[in-house]
Structure 1
Amino acid sequence: MENEEESKSQVQNTEENLSGQTLHSKIRFRVFFIMVCANALLNYDTGVIPASLDHLDIGSKLSHSEQAAIGSLVYVGICTSSLIVSIVFQRFSASKVLITMLILNSIFCLLFSFSYNVYFMYLTRFGMGFTQAFCVIYAPVWTNEFAPCDTCTRWMGILQCAVPLGVVFGYGIASLFNSLDIIFLDWRFAIQLQAVLEIPLILSLKVIDKSYIDIINPQDLVSSGEKSPRGNEVRIDVISLTHFSVFWDQMKMLFKNSIFVFLTLSLCCMFFVVSGIQYWITQYCIKVLHAKKILVVIGFVIISTTAPILGVLTGGWVADYYGGYKGKNILTAMRICLTFGLLAFMSAIPSCFVQTVVVEIFLLWLLLFFGGCIVPAATGIIVNSVPKEFQSSSSSVSQLMFNFGGFFLSPLMSAAIMDLFTDEIDALTWGFRFTLSVSFLSLIFITLAFSVILKGEIQYEVQFENSDIIEDNSLENLQEIIRRVKPIAIS
């Protein structure tokens, strides 16, 4: 009898544990769904602004530089808030931080939608970027910690795909509202819609127990240059002001690494081109190529949703097919990057001169596709070209350069070119050509990185051939030699 009661008790406990695990899984999936929706919604305005450049009326016509600043200042906000993200999450509950920042983001969206002063628009756009960074930075960290082991990569991929989908959703909604010619249905209402849609996310985070949202111990959350006192580190790839001196020392070491510098600059130039195309393509196609708005909208959606994603998948598959990017395969991976970089540049050249919108969209699709093909191998080489203790710092510096040198500067620099012309068509033509021409710089930096790696391999082979006795320890990984190659001066 006692054995039967014990067995029944064990079965009951097992069932309770299984039901508890199922409940935990459902709640965590719910949190993940909220993170995905938040990531998409926080990038929604990035699509609204390019679709509404001709409709940003504040009583007077905005110059191209003013239009560009409205889009670019979001990235200044992101870069600024990234300096304090780790400090905030270490001292406050992540659940409360995310809820607070979503509320503030919703308020800034509403203030921006009611703005009729360009400087107040600048301030609110900065605020939108500052507040969105907390969720955008924390979401991958949470996913990496709490996603099921067998679906972690899938969850991370879904989270990343939410960004372009949010941009396309915002672009489509704004284009629809701007074309209806109905009072109150315009870009302002599209931004107000973003503020309203954030409310369900805020309420959902509020009702979920914070233990499902917070990292188990906030002290384990560290940024570049920091270490957890407990030894269990959950790393956020941002720069922390509290350990800036340590980070600065690591950054000086990173900039002695030619591979890191050249490939990071190459990707930065690529994101410069992507951002410029995304920002000016609507005005360029309508005013210069005289295309219909509906055709431009369809083209934008096709380019944004298919070209970069298919490019990244194709580039990853090609790199894996030829052995990946580690060890001796690093030279092959660089050849792949160089080939795709050349194809991207060859697509950019005719894009500057064609006069047919369908051909233009096709060439831009090829440009973004081949650009996307570069990302997997180049990113892998960047990560593996620095010592492990510097990898978090390298990621932080890379993200800062991408946000500032790519996404922030692209609209502003192309707008500065446009403001040199009095004729609108000439302005858009040369501004767009300038944006596309930066793809040549990306190719140059890839070539420089390739030359450094090639030089490193030649040194390795000479050392190997001249050695009479070769011990196992002398057969170092090629990447270790590349790390010691002296920097090449760019003349």
Structure 2
Amino acid sequence: PAMAVGEEGANEAEPKWTVAKIKLRKKKLNRIFILLALVSIVINLDGGAVPAGLIHIEKTFYLNVVETGLVGMLVYQGIALGCLTVGPTLRCISPLRATQVTLVLNIAATLLFGCSTSTGMLLTFRVLIGFLQAVPAVYFPVWVDEFAPVESTTMWMAIVNAGAPLGITIGYVVSGALTSSAGAGRCDNEDLLCMWRMPFYGQP
């Protein structure tokens, strides 16, 4: 009888412990999701900052029509090339480590784009920024599909996918406000304090 009572008590305690673990897991997943949503916004700020400041960038580096087009286009070519490497990369290292490494490198590439003193640097770091956005672009929706609560999957997927256009919009507004306050004059390509550079310093 004593053993039966003990077993009954254990059976009553087990569901409570299971519920506590489920709640803890949900809280952890919610925090991770919020972080992913914020990262999706931040890494796309440059997508709006570049077109908003493109006139000033063009004046700084005396860009011709082709070079101006490349500044706008190369980031998307970088993403396309990067997406081809995501599958093999995630088979070799964990998604968490791949995300951490690419985010750190993306921060560095964004800062160096802002510090560019030549057209070659400008174009090189522009394509690198796109290349390093590939892991978040591919893996974040996969993570949501795998770990989101069933009742929230659609909403979570929508929020994560909305990060890119929202980040571009914010970057456009911030860069537009900063560059419009600087006037229409030309900055020297060695001047690292040009207003069009500020959004790229602040993005990380």
SS in 2 for 1:62: coil
Which structure has the highest helix share of the two? 2
Note if contact 1:109-1:128 (Cα within 8 Å) is conserved in structure 2.
Answer: yes
Report the equivalent of 1:171.
Answer: 172
Aligned to 2:127: 126
Partner of 1:85: 86
Report the alpha carbon displacement of residue 127 of structure 1 after superposing the two structures with TM.
0.6
Bigger-Rg structure (1/2): 1
How many residue pairs get aligned? The number is: 195
The Cα shift of 1:172 comes to: 0.9
Q: What is aligned with 2:201?
A: 192
Matched residue type, 1:142: W
What's 2:97 paired with?
Answer: 96
Match of 1:146 in 2: 147
* Cα offsets for 1:395-435 (capped at 9, x unmatched): xxxxxxxxxxxxxxxxxxxxxxxxxxxxxxxxxxxxxxxxx
Deviation at 1:60, TM superposition (A): 4.2
Query: Which amino acid counterpart does residue 158 of structure 2 have in structure 1?
Result: G
Equivalences for residues 10-409 of structure 1 within 5 A:
10-56=11-57, 59-181=60-182, 184=193, 186-195=195-204
Q: Write the distance in 1 (CA, Å) between the matches of 2:131 and 2:144.
A: 22
Q: How far off its partner does 1:57 sit?
A: 5.5
2:189 matched residue in structure 1 = none
Secondary structure of 1:115's partner?
coil
| Distance in structure 2 (CA, Å) of the matches to 1:153 and 1:114 | 40
> Partner amino acid for 2:77?
V
TM-score when normalising by structure 2: 0.89
Displacement of 1:185 in angstroms is 6.8
Give the share of equivalent positions with the same residue, in percent: 29
Deviation at 1:164, TM superposition (A): 1.2
In structure 1, what residue type is equivalent to 2:31? R
Deviations 1:88-110 (A, max 9, x none): 00111111100000000000001
Does the CA-based 8 Å contact 2:144-2:157 persist in structure 1? yes
The alpha-carbon deviation at position 158 of structure 1 amounts to: 1.1
In structure 2, what residue type is equivalent to 1:118? T
Name the CA distance, whole Å, in 1 between partners of 2:45 and 2:177: 14
Tell me the TM-score normalised to structure 1 length.
Answer: 0.38
Q: Which runs of 5+ in 1 are unaligned?
A: 196-491
User: What are the superposed Cα offsets for residues 142-166 of structure 1, whole Å, 9 maximum, x if unpaired?
Assistant: 1111111111111111111122111
Residue identity opposite 2:154 in structure 1:
T
What is the rounded CA distance, in whole Å, between the counterparts of 2:6 and 2:70 in structure 1? 73
CA contact (8 A) 2:114 2:200 kept: yes
3-state SS of 1:52 partner: helix
TM-superposition CA deviations, 1:275-315 (whole Å, max 9, x none): xxxxxxxxxxxxxxxxxxxxxxxxxxxxxxxxxxxxxxxxx
Please list the CA deviations of residues 53-100 of structure 1 after superposition, one character each: whole Å capped at 9, or x if unmatched: 121167443223222211210111111112211000011111110000
C-alpha change, 1:59 and 1:46, in structure 2 (3 Å) is closer
SS in 1 for 2:84: coil
Question: What is the rounded CA distance, in whole Å, between the counterparts of 1:185 and 1:53 in structure 2?
Answer: 13
